[in-house]
């Protein structure tokens, strides 16, 4: 991992895609990510059958995507903290707790979005 990346153009995009797929493999190892995928995919599909505008559909799906993105970032924070050390540390706990809070806020935002669009 300590090497310089010199790929340019299409080759860089191909390599970047490979790294992203590796990230997906790492994310899939996380139970929370798998659970969120199992909720977000069916809900995203459901939006195609709702009587809503295209803008509302995009907002609903984006709110779900926000949960997944936040979960991936939370997992990245946890991996870095664990890489530093497994001993209990106030700052490590704070970083992990804040990452967890970010996921919870993303979930609340998604719920709020769905309620406002589907109920209001």
- Name the catalytic one among 71, 72, 99, 110: 71
Q: Enter the tokens of residue 72.
A: 């991936």
User: Scanning the structure block, which residue is given the tokens 């997992």?
Assistant: 75
Q: Is 112 annotated as a binding residue?
A: no
Q: Is 30 annotated as a binding residue?
A: yes
What gap in Å lies between CA 61 and CA 81, rounded to an integer?
Answer: 31
CA 17 to chain centre: 17
User: 71: annotated binding-site residue?
Assistant: yes
CA distance linking residue 2 with residue 88, whole number of Å: 28
56 is catalytic: no
| Residue 12 among known ligand-binding residues | yes
Q: Is 32 annotated as a binding residue?
A: yes
Residue 33 assigned as binding residue: yes
Q: How far is CA 62 from CA 9, 73, 75, 91, 110, in A?
A: 29, 16, 20, 31, 8
Is 34 annotated to bind a ligand? Reply is yes
111 vs 91, 116, 118, CA distance in Å? Answer: 30, 9, 10
Residues placed in the known binding site for substrate: 12, 32-36, 71, 100
Residues placed in the known binding site for a divalent metal cation: 30, 78
Residues placed in the known binding site: 12, 19, 30, 32-36, 71, 78, 96-97, 100
Catalytic positions, written as ranges: 71
């Amino acid at each position: 991992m300590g090497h310089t990346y010199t790929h340019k153009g299409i080759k860089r995009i191909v390599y970047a895609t490979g790294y992203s797929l590796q990230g997906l493999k790492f994310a899939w190892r996380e139970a929370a990510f798998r659970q969120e995928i199992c909720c977000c995919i069916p809900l995203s599909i459901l939006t195609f059958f709702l009587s809503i505008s295209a803008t509302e559909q995009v907002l609903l799906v984006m709110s779900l995507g926000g949960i997944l993105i936040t979960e991936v970032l939370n997992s990245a924070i946890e991996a870095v903290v664990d890489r530093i050390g497994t001993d209990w540390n106030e700052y490590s706990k704070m970083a992990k707790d804040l990452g967890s809070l970010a996921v919870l806020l993303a979930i609340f935002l998604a719920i709020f979005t769905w309620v406002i669009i589907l109920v209001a």
